[in-house]
Homo-oligomer: A and B are copies of this chain.
Amino acid sequence: MNLLQIYAKLKSDLDAIEAKLASSVTSDHALLSDASTHLLKAGGKRIRPVVVLLAGKFGDYRLDVLEKVAVPLELIHMASLVHDDVIDNAETRRGQLTVKSKWDNRIAMYTGDYIYGKALALATELPNPQIHQILSHAMVQMCIGEMEQIRDFFNTDQSVRNYLLRIRRKTALLIAISCQLGAIAAGADRKTANCLYRYGYNMGMAFQIRDDLLDLLGTEKQIGKPPGSDIKQGNMTLPVLLALKEPGHSEELLAEIKKIHESNGAGETKRALNIIRKSAGIHIADEMATRYINKAIEALSSLPSIPAKKNLTDIAHFVGKRNY
């Protein structure tokens, strides 16, 4: 089954989650409702709700219970995006902070806080404290991941391990607990929940590595923004760190990154991109993503052969094949 077919199969339940997402961020405060709803309308792949529902199939599948983890997980993801935007706004409009742009930042910050709060408030309707604990711990780890990303901007000395730890916190953890919480909410046993966690973690790692590759190799049309945005921002992704270790590219790439850093966001990334694209880093990163995908699929091996298992496997294959 391809991805569209999986979405089609889950459509009525995903529609219910979409409605719950919308209603959950509606407050008696118009501005907060508008800002949150605006975000929701921007859509997204809703990958977290999808894996919650599929994980729920390994237990007692009840939509009214599963949506109380699926919606909070998507909200936490959204809140983290809103707070990323606060930072991005400050950058884009640097030097010309109008009253309007100031107000946007305030609104974005409090909208993020509000969505985080709503996410946790909705999850606490389920009487299982373990669920609340897993969610709040993930929120903490995600913040640490965001801070690490800031700390590591333009740090060309960091290890591959450092990168992997960072994307684990930033991306893989939330997908992992989406799978885990879907299983827990459906009352599946601990072993099943753990297998699904491992699936989600490995799939999430591959997902982020592929996303980072796409930023280096994709066209502006494919990725919706100019390629090289990460390197421009100072985000040293896996292929870059690998290329920096290659004797043939190291010095030249280091000099290019230094130029981009010193230009404060205005610099040209073309030359750096060319070096990276020629490097073995691309191929090695690609292989690492494939290894994570294989581990994700392997994590499912002991689970019963229900259709959801096939769907999760197909999703992993899709993530593994995102082309550029």
Q: For the complex formed by this chain, how many copies does it contain in all?
A: 2
Residues of B within 8 A of A28 (CB): 144
Say yes or no: is A107 at the interface (Cβ < 8 Å to chain B): yes
Say yes or no: is A100 at the interface (Cβ < 8 Å to chain B): no
Q: Which of B86, B95, B139, B148 contacts A120 (CB 8 A)?
A: B139
Say yes or no: is A47 at the interface (Cβ < 8 Å to chain B): no
Say yes or no: is A223 at the interface (Cβ < 8 Å to chain B): no
Q: Are B102 and A90 in contact (CB under 8 A)?
A: yes
Residues of B within 8 A of A150 (CB): 31, 103, 106-107, 110
Q: Are B114 and A136 in contact (CB under 8 A)?
A: no
Q: Are A109 and B129 in contact (CB under 8 A)?
A: no
CB 8 Å contact bits of A114-128 with B (1 = contact, 0 = none) = 101110110111111
Q: How far apart sit A118 and B136, CA to CA, in the bound complex (Å)?
A: 7
Interface size class of A (residues with CB under 8 A): 35 or more
CB 8 Å contact bits of A91-116 with B (1 = contact, 0 = none) = 10011010100110111011111101
Chain B CB within 10 A, most for which of A31, A105, A114: A114
Say yes or no: is A132 at the interface (Cβ < 8 Å to chain B): yes
Q: Are B114 and A90 in contact (CB under 8 A)?
A: no
Q: Are B129 and A127 in contact (CB under 8 A)?
A: yes
Q: How far apart sit A177 and B245, CA to CA, in the bound complex (Å)?
A: 55
Q: How far apart sit A86 and B125, CA to CA, in the bound complex (Å)?
A: 31
Say yes or no: is A151 at the interface (Cβ < 8 Å to chain B): yes
In the complex, which residue of chain B has the Cβ closest to the Cβ of A94? B97
Q: How far apart sit A144 and B27, CA to CA, in the bound complex (Å)?
A: 8
Q: Are B140 and A118 in contact (CB under 8 A)?
A: yes
Q: Which of A29-55 contact B (CB under 8 A)?
A: 29, 31-32
Residues of B within 8 A of A90 (CB): 90, 97, 102, 105-106
Residues of B within 8 A of A99 (CB): 264
Q: How far apart sit A114 and B90, CA to CA, in the bound complex (Å)?
A: 20
How far apart are A102's CB and chain B's nearest CB, in angstroms? 6
Q: Are A137 and B113 in contact (CB under 8 A)?
A: no
Residues of B within 8 A of A91 (CB): 102
Residues of B within 8 A of A148 (CB): 29
Q: Are B94 and A95 in contact (CB under 8 A)?
A: no
Q: How far apart sit A83 and B151, CA to CA, in the bound complex (Å)?
A: 20
CB 8 Å contact bits of A70-86 with B (1 = contact, 0 = none) = 00000000000001001
Q: Which of A236-277 contact B (CB under 8 A)?
A: 264
Say yes or no: is A143 at the interface (Cβ < 8 Å to chain B): yes
Residues of B within 8 A of A114 (CB): 140, 143-144, 147
Say yes or no: is A13 at the interface (Cβ < 8 Å to chain B): no
Q: Are A109 and B83 in contact (CB under 8 A)?
A: yes
Q: Which of B95, B106, B121, B140 contacts A137 (CB 8 A)?
A: B121
Residues of B within 8 A of A127 (CB): 129
Residues of B within 8 A of A120 (CB): 120, 132, 136, 139
In the complex, which residue of chain B has the Cβ closest to the Cβ of A119? B136
Q: Which of B106, B113, B147 contacts A107 (CB 8 A)?
A: B147
